[in-house]
Structure 1
Amino acid sequence: MTSQTTAPSAQQQGSHHWVMTLELPGRAMNTLYGTWTPPEGATRHDVFMAIKTDIGREAPEMTRANVVFFSLEPNQL
C-alpha cells in the first residue's frame, strides 16, 4: 500500500514548530500550532511575542489571554 500526504514538504515549512495554548479564564481555551522561521538573531522571547501578537491580530479577544503552554522546537526529526 502506498500512502500520499498533502502536507507541505519540509522545505515549505518554517524552521521551527510551535504550540501555544491560550486561556480566557471561565470563557475559552484554545491550542494553536504552526511553523515559523525566525529572523536572524531572534530570541525565543522574540518568537513568543511575535506569535502571540499574530494570534491577537487574528482573534482580538485572545490578545489578553493567559498563556498556559508554549513550545518552540526545531522543525526536524
Structure 2
Amino acid sequence: MTSQTSTSTTAAPAATQGSHMWVMTLEVPGRGMTTQYGTWTPPAGATRYDVFAALRGHIVAEHPEMASANCVFFSLEPNRL
C-alpha cells in the first residue's frame, strides 16, 4: 500500500517566510511515500547538502518509517519571484 502526504505551515507573509522554499519526496518502494514542503532560512555557511540532510532528518523524525526511504525528489530554491 502506498500513501502520500503533504505538509506545510499556513502561508505567511513573505517577510516572515524563510529565505528558501523547499520540497522533498521520500519513498519506501511498495510501502509508502511522503512529500513535504515549506520555507527555511539556513544558517550562515550552510551548504545545499547540509540543508538536504537537515530536512531529511526533520521528515524522518516525524515519519520514522521513512528512515530507509529513497529520496525521489528534492528542490531548494531562493524564496523570491
After TM superposition, the score normalised by the length of structure 1 is 0.88
Larger of the two Rg values belongs to structure: 1
- Aligned equivalents of 1:56 and 1:7: distance in 2? 23
- Aligned equivalents of 1:55 and 1:7: distance in 2? 19
- Aligned equivalents of 2:71 and 2:40: distance in 1? 18
Moved over 2 A (4+): none
- Residues 11-40 of structure 1, C-alpha deviation per residue, up to 9 Å, x if partnerless? 111100000111011011221111110000
RMSD: 1.1
Identity of aligned residues (%): 68
| Structure 2: gaps (5+ residues) | 1-9
| Structure 1: gaps (5+ residues) | 1-5
- Residues 26-70 of structure 1, C-alpha deviation per residue, up to 9 Å, x if partnerless? 011221111110000000000000000011111111121100010
Of 41, 46, 55 in structure 1, the residue corresponding to residue 59 of structure 2 is 55
Q: Across the two proteins, how many residue pairs are aligned to each other?
A: 72
User: How far 1:8 sits from its partner (Å)?
Assistant: 0.7
